[in-house]
Structure 1
Amino acid sequence: METRHFFLHHDRYLHDDQIACSGQDEHHERYFGAVSAPIVQTSLFVQKDYQSYCDDMLCEAERFIYSRGLNPTVQMVEEKLAKLERGESCRCFASGMGAISAALLANLRSQDHIIFVNNVYGPALALVKQMASRYDISYDIVLDGNIAEIERHIRPTTRVIYTESPGTMTMNIVDLSAIAALAKARGITTMIDNTWATPLFQKPLTLGFDIVIHSCTKYLGGHSDLIAGAVITSHDRMTEIRDFSHQLLGAVLSPFAAWLLLRGLRTLPVRMQRHQENVLQIIDYLKTRPEVENIRHPALANGQQQEIIRRQMMGFSGLFAFEIKDGDFAQVKGFIDNCRLFKIGCSWGGYESLIISPNRGYNEEALAAHNIAPGLIRLSIGQESPELLIADLDRAFTAIAGMRG
């Protein structure tokens, strides 16, 4: 299909998403007419008398008492994220891993079983591996997202199915509605890391998922200057997450980081459209390079994957991967080191374009176990001119052509 014309944003979401991202619902009159949200940089809120304090403590989840629990600036961004994901409740955390840890720890007990579907963020899997050895948690991994294969791995103790779509590095798509239906029929909680798509391009709660997680460090913040995470779900499910994982583990978002996130959300719709336009031009360029195979981006999906995308996605972000034909660590290293505009960095979602590879020269056996080719390179396409980015990639391809002789 023509990638250049494959923009999917559904009109039924566009208006409400733009309001949620903007400041139109922020009640400026409360803050002296300030058009920019205030930073309520306080740890503590005092009450007018002791009876008020006692009354507030009975409703600690809804009252401003101590900023580890609730803070006006943090609450403002939580309300926006809940609206964007069409969820009832959101809690923000000090990092994406804070959000992932909170969701998993609140929903897993000793001897429970979790199924990872698709290639997921490495630290999330590492956390469960630690839980497996320390707390008697078991897990399985289903890389291809096949529903029959997921069902085959379900045990009586399976409590959580956790996924990403698109998957980390491979960008494989899984059918979220089918996974949600399978899990609901068996009383299993579903979780998804929706960082790649953002709430603008994918809304898993509307597809039947129970819990959505974000690394707000990426596109939602959008400026590579904050670390934050979020969990969005129903009021009932959030109660346990809040009471245990949010309050007692304490990895909460600071007011200043929340303010930076509010600023990032203001421009999220225009930034995501720019990321999409840029990445499609870079993909069109890479399709002309004889050194490239297996460009891994949902815009190039076909067959069943394309049908799934049309049902559950509304657009494409700028993170993707491709493989150098017959590539090895030396060629991957040479390619990356000869880029100038693309910076080497493990995060993504900001203005700047970034490049890395999962191949570190000593882990090819682990890559093979996760169906990742040794020549795979991941690009995060930023906001720069596509012409400049293409020229940078040209330089790198010329360099590895010299290496191949």
Structure 2
Amino acid sequence: MNDLNISFIINEYAEDRDDYFRAVAPPIMQTSNFAFKKVDDLRKSFEDEYSTWLYSRGLNPTVEILRKKLAALDAAEDCLVFNSGAAAIFAAALANVKSGDHIVSVRNPYTWAKKMFDEILPRFNVSVTYIDGTKIENFIAVTKDNTSIYYLETPNSWSYELQDLEAVATLAKKHNIITICDNSYCTPLYQRPIEYGIDLVLQSATKYIAGHSDTVAGVLSGGSNMIQKIFNSEYLNIGSGIQPFNAWLLIRGLRTLPARLERITATTAKIVEYLQMHDRVEKVIFPLDKNFVQYELAKKQMQGGCGLLTFIIKAKNIATIEMFCNSLQHILMAVSWGGHESLIIPRCASIKPEKFIAASEEHRMLRLYCGLEDADYIISDLERGFEAIKEME
């Protein structure tokens, strides 16, 4: 996809301004309901809600503009927009399993995907096998006759393991297995799994698409038949569709997406370089760094790396890591990423202090998201944290 196509999709595609008084920004169609003049028109809407406006739990004109833009960016035939990324994951999986089925998932997927696999689907006799997804041989080894889904997350959001999308898609098609890929790390501007043969691609639009940390949403893109199937069942039944105002916020976010990603990417490169040179940093993990173990695959599949990286701090105890994070004044300690503000989260926040192991790289991980601030501004705050732990020793 070239820059001209991206510019057209983001700024013009699916917008017919003559329909709304030639307004530059599309209106928020803040309605729950749509009226009909003839009984036959209402009857047709009942028969095929996917092709008309009936009730905003399903389709809505503001949401429709967003859906078309996001599907085009993903190189997909169609997409649905949910009120969270977790809802998109749930619908994608639930639509493609039945009792007795088996799922192969990459290890350590997003928290709510794992909760679904471990706690919800087993109630309906659906099992899951977690694997190291960096090797196609691992998919082959655990695939069964009843395997219905390969669940991917590439890169993941802590250590950034990748899956070979083309190889996994080829294997899946041999066995009639549906592939689902979480693309939240890259966005469709930097990676399009559908172009490698993946069936369903999802992302947390809360992050880069929205871009301002003021709305929550999820996107699920794929073939039109699959998307319509999910719309008529899981989407309408669960009632997890996005509301018009939030859809409008996402359209607004899309307008600046390329510019934001460009600035964030440039800033991240400077932060990676700074951290790699710091004597208190043991390792920096970033998929487009030449030292990354899967760098060649990252270069092949990804056009960019955005702003999420992990560094492993040298620390003999948990108090050192806590002091580093507590001393930061501008980088916020919070989950998620993709907004205007830089964020940090230490892995040890999910570990009880008495369980902390200083020799464990994982326990000493800090995930940093580089926002839209100036690189020197972020670096100066990181330096503040490093100075604080130097003083306590």
CA distance in 2, matches of 1:211, 1:366: 38
Partner of residue 112, structure 1: 101
Q: Percent identity?
A: 36
Confirm whether residue 128 of structure 1 aligns to residue 117 of structure 2. Answer: yes
Is 1:31 aligned to residue 31 of structure 2?
Answer: no
Match of residue 189, structure 1, among 178, 198, 214: 178
Q: CA deviation at 1:185?
A: 1.2
Distance in 2 between the 1:126 and 1:26 partners?
38
Q: Distance in 2 between matches of 1:45 and 1:250?
A: 17
Q: How does 1:2-401 map onto structure 2 within 5 Å?
A: 12-23=1-12, 25-302=14-291, 305-326=294-315, 328-360=317-349, 362=351, 373-401=362-390
Assess, with a 3 A threshold, how the Cα gap between structure 1 residues 24 and 361 changes in structure 2: closer, same or farther: closer
Q: Partner of 2:98: helix, strand, or coil?
A: coil
1:364 and 1:15 map into 2 onto residues whose CA distance is: 52
- 1:239-276 deviations in Å (ceiling 9; x for gaps): 22111110111111000000000000010010111110
TM-score, structure 2 as length reference: 0.95
Distance of 1:235 and 1:17 partners within structure 2: 21
Q: How big is the shift at 1:109?
A: 1.4
- Equivalent-residue separation in structure 2 for 1:328 and 1:273 (angstroms): 37
| CA drift at 1:365 | 11
How big is the shift at 1:27? 1.2
Give CA deviations for 1:95-153 in whole Å, capped at 9, x if unaligned: 11111111111111122111112542111111111124422221111135211112111
Instruction: Determine if contact 1:91/1:231 at 8 Å carries over to the other structure.
Output: yes
Change (3 A) 1:65 1:132: closer
The verdict on how the C-alpha distance between 1:363 and 1:157 changes in structure 2, with shifts beyond 3 A counting, is farther
Would the aligned equivalents of 1:205 and 1:212 in 2 still touch at CA under 8 Å?
yes
Cα distance change, pair 247–364 in 1 and its aligned pair in 2 (3 A): farther
- Aligned AA for 1:264? G
Please state how far the C-alpha of 1:165 moved relative to its aligned partner.
Answer: 1.0
The root-mean-square deviation of aligned C-alpha atoms, in Å, is 1.9
State the Cα distance separating 1:358 from its structure 2 match: 2.3
Whole-Å Cα distance in 1 between the matches of residues 332 and 293 of structure 2? Answer: 35
Contact 2:181 2:198 in 1 (8 A): yes
- Which residue in the other structure is 1:9 paired with? none
Aligned equivalents of 2:106 and 2:389: distance in 1?
35
Change in 2 beyond 3 A, CA 1:337/1:64 = same
**SS in structure 2 at match of 1:298:** coil
SS of 2:322's partner is helix
- The amino acid that maps onto 2:56 is S
Residues 119 and 169, structure 1, Cα contact 8 Å, conserved in 2: no
* Stretches of structure 1 lacking an aligned partner (at least 5 in a row): 1-11
Deviations for 1:329-388, whole angstroms, at most 9, x for unmatched residues? 2222111111111001112110000011222263589999xx961100001110001111
Are the structure 2 counterparts of residues 397 and 197 from structure 1 closer, same or farther at C-alpha, using a change threshold of 3 Å?
same
Q: Once the two structures are superposed, what CA deviation does each residue of 1:280-317 show, in whole Å capped at 9, x if it has no partner? A: 11011001101112211112145872221222111111
What CA distance in whole angstroms lies between the structure 2 residues aligned with 1:400 and 1:36?
A: 49
Where relative contact order (Cα < 8 A, 6+ residues apart) is larger, the structure is 1
1:13 CA displacement: 2.8
Deviates more, 1:266-275 or 1:51-60: 51-60
In 2, Cα distance between equivalents of 1:230 and 1:281: 31
Contact 1:211 1:232 in 2 (8 A): yes
Deviations 1:151-179 (A, max 9, x none): 11111111111111111211122211111
Select between 66-75 and 104-113 the one with higher mean Cα deviation: 104-113
**Quick one: structure 1 residues 301 and 185, their matched pair in 2 at CA, closer, same or farther if it must change by over 3 Å?**
farther
